[in-house]
Structure 1
Amino acid sequence: MILAYWCVLIAAFMPLAFIGYAKFAGESKMGPRENHNPREWLEATQGAKKRAYWAQLNSFEAFPPFAAGVIIAAIAGGAISAINTLAVLFIVLRLGYGWCYITDRASLRSLVWFAATACTVGLFITAAVG
């Protein structure tokens, strides 16, 4: 199995890291009572917790095109080294994106988002030229 497939698995579970931060970091942790309505509780959070929740939502949005890009590039016979490089870079950038979001670095977050999105586009280009 190529490294990029492992990156798809990591990207699939990355939202859990962000929501874990939102639910369990800091003083106001989510407890059994809050688990009855977790989305309502998360919407009521503020600051870094709220931004971690939003990072989770954005990670769910970024996952499908990335996963499709990896799979399509591999099936189309794209260069495995290019696919692996773009996939690993996507993961690193998306982790950086989450950090930027949680720590409220809005301009840097947007740049990192753009770079990660460029990796996804690069996967489709790799498929096209493969």
Structure 2
Amino acid sequence: MTVARFTLAYWCVLVAALLPIFCAGLAKWGTFSKPRSDGGFDNHNPRAWLAQQTDWRARANAAQANSFEALPFFIGAVVIAHQLGAYQTRLDLLAFVYVVLRLVYILMYVANLANLRSMVWGLALAMNVAILFVGYR
């Protein structure tokens, strides 16, 4: 019997899938203890509450949406690279760098560093394309 193991690239998929949840938590940070009437988080209508946020909370929520948008391509690229028999070390490294870039992207987004954020987004996209083709021969 062959036992499948999680590669680093697969662990990176898990981390990437958790990034939107991290962003949502960041957007809501410090508001759970405040009453709804005082602007605290409204779990009865969370999307409307998030839509009313401004400044860094709004940017954290936007980073959440972008993290969800980027996720399918990353998952697909990792799975395809594995199916094509990519060199595991190279795939693991590319996936790890992608996740690090996405974390930096989120931090740049929340910090309102738009030009740097866009540059990091482009690097992460390029990394994802590299992951897709790393198994191509």
Would you say same fold, with TM above 0.5?
A: yes
**1:58 Cα deviation (Å)?**
0.1
Aligned length in residues: 126
Does residue 115 in structure 1 map to residue 115 in structure 2? Answer: no
Give the secondary-structure state (helix, strand or coil) at the position aligned to 2:112.
coil
Does residue 10 in structure 1 map to residue 15 in structure 2? Answer: yes
The AA in structure 1 aligned to 2:14 is: L
Does residue 24 in structure 1 map to residue 24 in structure 2? Answer: no
Greater fraction of residues in helix: 1
TM-score for the superposition, normalised by structure 2: 0.88
The AA in structure 2 aligned to 1:119 is: M
Post-superposition CA distance 1:28-62 (Å, at most 9, x none):
x1567511110100000000000000000000000
After TM superposition, where is structure 1 displaced by more than 6 Å over at least 4 residues in a row?
none
Q: 1:126 aligns with which of 124, 128, 134?
A: 134
- Cα-Cα RMSD: 1.2
Cα distance between partner residues in 1 of 2:43 and 2:130: 40
Look up the match of 1:74: 82
Does residue 47 in structure 1 map to residue 55 in structure 2? Answer: yes
Post-superposition CA distance 1:77-110 (Å, at most 9, x none):
0111111011000110000000000000000000
Identical counterparts, % of pairs: 43
Q: Report the structure number with the largest CA radius of gyration.
A: 2
TM-score for the superposition, normalised by structure 1: 0.92
Cα distance between partner residues in 1 of 2:29 and 2:117: 23
Cα distance between partner residues in 2 of 1:32 and 1:117: 40
Which runs of 5 or more structure 2 residues have no equivalent in the other structure? 1-5, 37-41
**More divergent stretch after superposition (44-53 vs 77-86):** 77-86
Look up the match of 2:3: none
